[in-house]
Chain A
Amino acid sequence: DTAVSQTPKYLVTQMGNDKSIKCEQNLGHDTMYWYKQDSKKFLKIMFSYNNKELIINETVPNRFSPKSPDKAHLNLHINSLELGDSAVYFCASMGTGGHSPLHFGNGTRLTVT
């Protein structure tokens, strides 16, 4: 069983399109995240939700909108895609109680042409 699963694994699209990435975790965690990994491998936090409530919202263009229908799911919708959005997007979850590790999905490689 995959603990954090995200779909699709690859996404190739043209500039200006709107796309979504879905994420689900079966670990029973309350907190979920989206991270962006650029071509230099840098992992940058984008958003975090705790039990469906937005708790971290970094400086991300408002073309990116996270949606959490329940605490096991956190989807990412991107409007008007730009070339600079090309990256690998990772979903992750974290348990409660402090001093907990992040559990990552295997990423979605987004390529905007």
Chain B
Amino acid sequence: QQQVKQSPQSLIVQKGGISIINCAYENTAFDYFPWYQQFPGKGPALLIAIRPDVSEKKEGRFTISFNKSAKQFSLHIMDSQPGDSATYFCAATFNNDMRFGAGTRLTVKP
């Protein structure tokens, strides 16, 4: 039973475009929502994270939008670059138990 649902499975964006990845969760006890970026042959690395008392968080070209009532959150990558091509995972945590979405493979075409 997947506790965090992520879409799309794959995404192709032109350089300079906006990449948007969406996630939804059911368990209202989750209290921390990170996004991870994974390159081939590497472990996932924290990209940006948000708490449910905040509706938006921005760090450089990366923004998380959070809708607590809808139990949804999304990652926006502005001005997408070929170097952003990777697999992205959303996650949700409660009590040190972190559950991941299924991942989105992003390809940014030059």
Q: Judge if A45 is at the interface, Cβ distance under 8 Å.
A: yes
Q: Are B45 and A104 in contact (CB under 8 A)?
A: yes
Flag the segment in B56-64, B65-73, B93-101 that touches A.
B93-101
Q: Judge if A86 is at the interface, Cβ distance under 8 Å.
A: no
**Number of A residues, CB within 8 Å of B:** 26
8 Å CB contacts to B: which residues of A26-70?
Answer: 31, 33, 40-45, 48, 50, 55-56
Is chain B's binding surface mostly helix, strand, loop or mixed? strand
Min CB distance B27 to A, Å, is 14
**Which of B51, B99, B102 is in CB contact (< 8 Å) with A41?**
B102
Annotate B75-97 by CB proximity to A: 1 below 8 A, 0 otherwise.
Answer: 00000000000010101010011
B residues whose Cβ falls under 8 Å from a Cβ of A: 31-32, 34, 36, 38, 41-46, 49, 51, 87, 89, 91, 93, 96-100, 102-103, 105
Q: Are A99 and B31 in contact (CB under 8 A)?
A: yes
Q: Are A90 and B43 in contact (CB under 8 A)?
A: yes
Annotate A67-92 by CB proximity to B: 1 below 8 A, 0 otherwise.
Answer: 00000000000000000000000101
The CA of A92 and the CA of B31, in the complex, are separated in Å by 19
Sample of 13 further A-B pairs with CB below 8 A, known A98-B96, A104-B43: A41-B38, A41-B103, A43-B103, A45-B99, A48-B96, A92-B43, A94-B96, A94-B98, A99-B31, A99-B49, A99-B93, A102-B98, A107-B43
Q: Are A55 and B96 in contact (CB under 8 A)?
A: yes
Inter-chain contacts of B42 with A (CB < 8 A): 106-107
**Which of A56, A98, A106 is in CB contact (< 8 Å) with B32?**
A98
Q: Are A102 and B32 in contact (CB under 8 A)?
A: no
Give 10 CB contacts A-B under 8 Å. A41-B102, A41-B105, A44-B100, A90-B43, A94-B98, A101-B34, A101-B46, A102-B44, A103-B46, A107-B43
The CA of A43 and the CA of B91, in the complex, are separated in Å by 10
Q: A4, A44, A100: which has the most chain B beta carbons within 10 Å? A: A100
The CA of A107 and the CA of B38, in the complex, are separated in Å by 11
Min CB distance B5 to A, Å, is 12
The CA of A101 and the CA of B32, in the complex, are separated in Å by 9
